[in-house]
Amino acid sequence: TYLENFPKRSTLHPYERSLVELTLGDGNYEEVLGKVDTLRKKVVSVAKEHASLCAKSVSKREAEERLTEGIKKVEETFNQKGKAVDDLLNIAKTLRAMPVIDLETPTLCLVGAPNVGKSSLVRVLSTGKPEICNYPFTTRGILMGHIVSNYQHFQVTDTPGLLRRCDEDRNNLEKLTLAVLAHLPTAILYVHDLSGECGTSPSDQFIIYKEIKERFSDHLWLDVVSKCDLLRDSPVVFVTEDVDEDDNELSKYRKLGPDGAIHVSVKNEVGLNELKGRVHEMLSLQMARIQAEKINQEVGEVSI
């Protein structure tokens, strides 16, 4: 049946499951499938009932009358709950329009606050021209590119910017970023903008960074300070900030970013060769990780 073409949510990859929830709302997918299945069963039941009456007819005229009545009853049954079918068709169109991402290819994920320069770096790092991926729950396109290094293929993607707030207050765009990090084989390129241009204060960026670094500490990680051509001798301080409350770590972060961060400027082409080299090293390590995990999984299945 048509319904069998829709997989159960429990059989989806965790990333795909997250996309379904973000796009359709938690539980709506299963609810619509359930309504359509209930409608299908009801229509089949009504049709069988009137088909049986037709078979018991003693004349052609009686059979035709019962057939007409049966068709009318089936149409009435369908019209009562037929909206579920329209809802399912809309779901199908929505799911078909979603970007296709390789769920097993090592992926470089650029993370950071909004407007820190992630998209520009995706363009710089991609071997070819990145594609714009559109998701149903946002009008903002997300860049997805590819990196080819030593005959190995990797994905590189921009992600929506993260703001300083708890998960309960995050919008679907931010939740998409967290889903990418949680469910895809990603290495993280975390982008910091200390120039004051992005609109998020250095102290807020620092707090977001510390939270994400702690949450995804098992990921391979590389820090980048973008727009280094705009950095000044004295650190940027927003009017909402009080530098007197800075501890030593935050004070150092304002000037240089995290320890070991690469300073780059896409505009002036500063630090880009070093960044590309470090990215290729990290993605090769990510590939080795994935291959090792597959081997361990296969060994475990054999031993069972």
Residue 200, pLDDT score: 93
Domain ranges of the chain: 2-96, 107-299
Predicted TM-score (pTM) of the model is 0.84
Give the pLDDT confidence of 66-85 residue by residue, as tens digits. Answer: 889 989 998 988 888 889 98
pLDDT above 70 covers what percent of the chain?
97
pLDDT tens readout for residues 157-213: 999 999 999 999 999 899 999 999 999 989 999 999 999 899 999 999 999 999 999
Dihedral Cα 271, 191, 259, 150, nearest 10 deg: -60
Report the distance separating Cα 177 and Cα 188, nearest Å: 11
DSSP E strand boundaries for 152-258: 152-157, 186-192, 221-225
Closest by alpha carbon to 285, among 189, 158, 187? Answer: 187
Mean pLDDT: which of 73-77, 142-146, 195-199, 217-221 is highest?
217-221
Q: How would residue 95 be classed by pLDDT, with cut points 50, 70 and 90? A: confident
pLDDT at 139: 64
* The residue type at 154: F
CATH number for the domain whose boundaries are 107-299:
3.40.50.300
